[in-house]
């Protein structure tokens, strides 16, 4: 079964636009879980332009499902994750001013750096996922640093899907086959939506989790949050 983890950064962006607490991020997360999602994902950035570090602590205390915290492992982020102790941390190589995550780690070049961080989090009983491009060398590198999972960056898949879905999925299938062979679990995320998710999830064996935010929240503007979540859950059956 593939878990749907809803990224709520866009809800936080809407809240912050007025400098108040509406919509309330925690209440929205609780509703998302009530509507059937099995996880909540947040990506607190250093400038706190959407999700704030305090949000992470509030969510961990009050939600009943898995919390996944994404981010670049700067010291402040590492300290936050070790304090909150989410079910999962996803390490992403974002620059400080990045609008969104647009590339995965070079797990070979950053072996020593990532290995120390992975060991730190795992010693605190936090599952670690490494955000990578669909590249077998990077996948094997993630295994060598002892990560529990990789998150496949699906931006290139979503872009190519419009033109040729079979070509778009080819490298992801190869990566998933190697991941299953060497014993590292698979997550996926970025630009997945109701049009391209089913083909992706049907093609990837043992896909553990998809993290979806931008498309899901955008579709909810037209269809409502609960029906949209239920549509995604139906796709992932």
How many CA atoms does the CB half-sphere of 61 hold within 13 Å? Answer: 7
In the numeric block, the tokens 């086959």 are attached to: 177
* Phi and psi, residue 20, nearest 5°: -125, -155
pLDDT above 70: residue 214: yes
Q: What is the CA radius of gyration of the chain?
A: 17
Picking from 3, 90, 41, the residue whose alpha carbon sits closest to that of residue 217 is 41
Question: What does the block give as tokens for 205?
Answer: 């064996």
| Average predicted confidence (pLDDT) for the chain | 96
List, by residue number, the catalytic residues: 43, 70, 190
What is the pTM for the complete model shown?
A: 0.96
Structural domains of the chain, with CATH: 3-235 (3.20.20.70)
| Distance in angstroms (rounded) separating the CA atoms of residues 165 and 167 | 5
Contact in structure between 44 and 72 (CB atoms under 8 Å): no
Separation CA 14–CA 43 (nearest Å): 15
Does 106 score more than 80 pLDDT? yes
Query: Looking at the predicted structure, is the pLDDT value of residue 99 above 60?
Result: no
Other CB atoms within 10 Å distance of the CB of residue 20: 9
């Amino acid at each position: 079964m593939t878990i749907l983890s809803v990224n709520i950064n866009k809800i936080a962006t809407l809240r912050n636009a007025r400098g108040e607490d509406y919509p309330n991020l925690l209440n929205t997360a609780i509703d998302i879980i009530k509507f059937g999602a099995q996880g909540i994902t947040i990506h607190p950035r250093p400038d706190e332009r959407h999700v704030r570090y305090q949000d992470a602590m509030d969510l961990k205390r009050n939600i009943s499902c898995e919390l996944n915290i994404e981010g670049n492992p700067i010291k402040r982020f590492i300290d936050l994750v070790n304090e909150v102790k989410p079910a999962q941390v996803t390490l992403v190589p974002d620059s400080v001013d990045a609008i969104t995550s647009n590339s995965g780690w070079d797990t070979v070049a950053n072996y020593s750096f990532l290995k120390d961080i992975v060991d730190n989090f795992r010693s605190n009983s936090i599952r670690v996922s490494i955000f990578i491009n669909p590249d077998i060398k990077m996948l094997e590198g993630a295994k060598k640093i002892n990560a529990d999972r990789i998150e496949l960056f699906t931006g290139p898949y979503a872009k190519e899907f419009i033109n040729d879905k079979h070509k778009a999925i080819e490298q992801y299938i190869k990566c998933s086959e190697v991941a299953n062979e060497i014993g590292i679990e698979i997550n996926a995320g970025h630009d997945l939506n109701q049009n391209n998710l089913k083909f992706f999830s049907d093609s990837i064996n043992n896909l553990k989790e998809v993290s979806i935010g931008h498309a899901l929240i955008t579709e909810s503007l037209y269809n409502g949050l609960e029906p949209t979540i239920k549509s995604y859950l139906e796709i992932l059956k």
